[in-house]
Chain A
């Protein structure tokens, strides 16, 4: 059975069904979208259960010739890293649909279009993680932008059109650079045994270092825009402020992970030598992102902007973990991607709910919510604790792995990165105090607490955050072999301890 193709096709099928619905049936569109996304999630879990932990290489491999004259194949396959990211994506989609049940109303187009876009986006997300043909990856990578563009521009708030364009221009720029690099590596493959886009074959090429550096940069800049690394980050806060909360969750939680995923899958796998060359610069940029994102988050007046900047800080951690080139760094970074997806989802969804109730997302407009809407307030608080990586919650495990994995190779970077945990406490506790504590500010007296639908949406997210904090083993067991494989292939081994090392 073609599991991955089925997984990717299912949302598309749902989108098609919604398309055939008459325009008046916007409620049916919602339910159909939800049913589809739940089915996809179940299939995703089924795939995860059938995934063999100890088997190296890609699993669920599918390979069909697509454009044979150019050596382009429709080939899919997942390793542990791709698996956990797909799993996170397919679990987040139904949550986002339930959480933003009324998000589609009041957009430029109807509800039908909204859910069609969401489901198409889900297909793209699965495809981009599952593709093992670089051309196919590029197609998903670029096509993914289209539904997001419409979701921001058509259903967002505030200066949504401007934000959508900004997002697009940035991504476009990165995409073009990557395109050039893809062509470059394709040309080289032609000189070495035949044109191909197959990731495994491409990783066997011998490329001289200058060329390799240029190709590396083409990929890396595209990914550094996607998982925004300072100074390529300025599109993210605008997009996050303008998008609906659900779109923001998918944008920051899933789409941006394509960037950090790409760094592991493409930059390091295809260009190990250049990865080594550029590591010092990238680590510095990652550190700047960690601290810069945190300071900017502290200075934000808008709750959504704040969450966006905390994400920039978190992406700094992820990037640092990846380029530390240790098992702990890689596994930690991958786990971080998943954990960040869930904790950011919790933050955005709750922030979205309270902003909608209050009609404002300015932090100063809130106050004393712990007494007005206790359940919403506590949910936000727990999500915040996860964002500041409190031990016992999921983010701690990944953040600590990143730091410890970085320390063994780049102690100074790890020490500077660790300062980020103090800033994290500030950027979470300052808005918590302003919005949740203190006297109830005028205008907030009559806000209603969490609804049943919202409870259903947020409960699994919080459960995942707590469960993975105590028991990250199921994910780590899947991720570890992939991390080891990536690093071994690129020629890295973990530094041995100074005492009693092997």
Chain B
């Protein structure tokens, strides 16, 4: 089926963004309202398409829209063409829905910023790029959105780039993403060399004829792309620094939507991964490593946004892990992605609300006892907290529990390892999230003297409240009656495969809940008493390493950055001395001898004119000789 509306989803925010940038200061008064309305209307189109889709039988729910022939060279044919199916509509609603809420929130949050209009132009640009990412019907169309969101992320992380360290954070994010993009580029090249097409449908159709080597190559390259965009090991280091961006950006881009693009990419490429077991195993391993990696960093962060960022990394680790678990895993991955979109965006907005009331203080050691003064923030944040640690009946419970269960039940010894990692991750998550709650909302006041914490205005708490409702209800709504799994089945081919289960669901759930309880109990025991305002320095080596983000930056600097700089300096020096020097020596000899020969000449201009003449004569003379 075709539709004519899909393009507006992208075109509206794209043009709005360009419009607001071109108008400049002239649009300062109303730019934010305009951008918010545009985002809301994109949500309206999405909702309309969703209702239409519901009305159709499940096998004919996908719609496409061909716009124009984009690149056409020989057999390399790529159309600018959009595809809306059960998978992409889930993202469209998340992006435009949460996106619009965050637009609304930002009206108040950014009200004192001189460049608020520019901020909203960037937000609209992000919405457009992200929608293109999930709506493109080929890997190359996806790539445009993929780098588009990277650019939006760069612009928004560096929104206050007059601070050098913020500008550096933006650059770091873009570079790390570019490393991932090498993977996406190569995946597309291998796909074209193998299948002669780069559209999803075309590749899926021919996938059975491809060699395992080619599919593994594509799979691993897609995984590389995913690690860059979704801040997975080993390209995770940019996400913490990305918190330099305004908090609504952290909520929308670096929690709810863009960073989950890797999960989308792998799910969209299910036909590749299902036929490339080695690549799939690597997906699982990367997911398991990152979910522990992020969780461990989360335990040591005093900056509320960085703690949440670490948790995002870890939760996306869960999703990536799930996408590596075969057909049934995809649905759970996307389900966790959606619930996470609600509760993590909600908590980030909550963090923004706290910062708003605390003069942009981000150090949780200088918070404390804020629950009474900011009750709405505390409650909405608290609901997000219950969701993320996985307490029933909150959203995260349904989605995360399913992932842990599927992990445990995957075949062989692998299942025990990854199931164990997922379970341990749940324990650590419970610990560090409880720590965030205790340090921020309970206990004694540890504020700076000038702080006057207050509740945020309605424009801010309204979106927080809506997201909190999502944190409560979305898990149950999506999982009851296996609703989401069967919704996504046509896309990921997840027809219920029953196999021997190692653990019954009830056993896994019990284990998970016990793990959560242990995590919460440790946190309470540790932070019940007074918390020092300055982070203690006499801590063990493990805490020190965790505070340094498990040495991720130290590693990158030692292995990549410094050798790269040394190489650059070496090359610059040799280019000047060796290569140019050699040429110059030759040049000097030529000049010297020519000067000697023609002392009456006073410049190269004339001598060159002569040489041209000489050349032409020589040519004519030779021709004359050979034609004799």
Contact = CB atoms under 8 A, between A and B. Distances in A.
Contacts of B556: none
A122 to B, nearest CB: 19
A296 B604 CA distance: 30
A497 B197 CA distance: 9
Given A404-B189, A497-B195, A498-B193, A390 B76 contact: no
Given A231-B579, A403-B185, A327 B73 contact: yes
A165 B74 contact: no
B608 to A, nearest CB: 6
A70 B620 contact: yes
A351 B275 CA distance: 50
B164 A418 contact: no
Contacts, number: 214
A368 B164 CA distance: 10
Contacts of A53: none
Interface stretch (A10-18, A141-149, A270-278): A141-149
A182 interface: yes
A480 interface: yes
B206 A499 contact: yes
B75 interface: yes
A484 B575 contact: no
Given A166-B587, A414-B189, A438 B162 contact: yes
A205 interface: no
Contacts of B21: 378
Majority SS of interface residues in chain B?
helix
Contacts of B500: none
Interface stretch (B140-148, B276-284, B349-357, B457-465): B140-148
A456 interface: no
Interface string B558-587: 000000000111011001000110010001
B178 to A, nearest CB: 4
Nearest to B571: A295
A473 interface: yes
B571 A495 contact: no
A422 B561 CA distance: 13
Contacts of A438: 161-164, 167
B201 interface: no
A500 B209 contact: yes
Contacts of A385: 151
Given A142-B615, A296-B571, A408-B192, A392 B626 contact: no
A183 B73 contact: no
Interface residues of A, number: 94
Nearest to A425: B178
B624 interface: yes
B608 A149 contact: yes
Contact of B143 (A67, A165, A391): A391
A371 interface: yes
B502 to A, nearest CB: 37
Interface stretch (B64-72, B298-306, B426-434): B64-72
Given A390-B147, A392-B144, A426-B175, A70 B571 contact: no
Contacts of A182: 619
Nearest to A168: B608
Nearest to A494: B74
**Which of B74, B591, B627 has the most chain A CB within a 10 Å cutoff?**
B74
A428 to B, nearest CB: 10
Given A195-B627, A418-B189, 17 more contacts: A135-B619, A195-B623, A295-B571, A296-B572, A368-B162, A370-B161, A371-B162, A391-B146, A392-B148, A403-B185, A404-B76, A404-B193, A407-B189, A425-B174, A498-B193, A499-B195, A499-B209
21 contacts: A67-B620, A70-B620, A190-B626, A234-B579, A328-B76, A385-B151, A392-B144, A405-B76, A407-B193, A422-B175, A422-B178, A422-B182, A425-B178, A429-B171, A429-B175, A433-B164, A440-B162, A480-B74, A483-B73, A496-B196, A498-B195
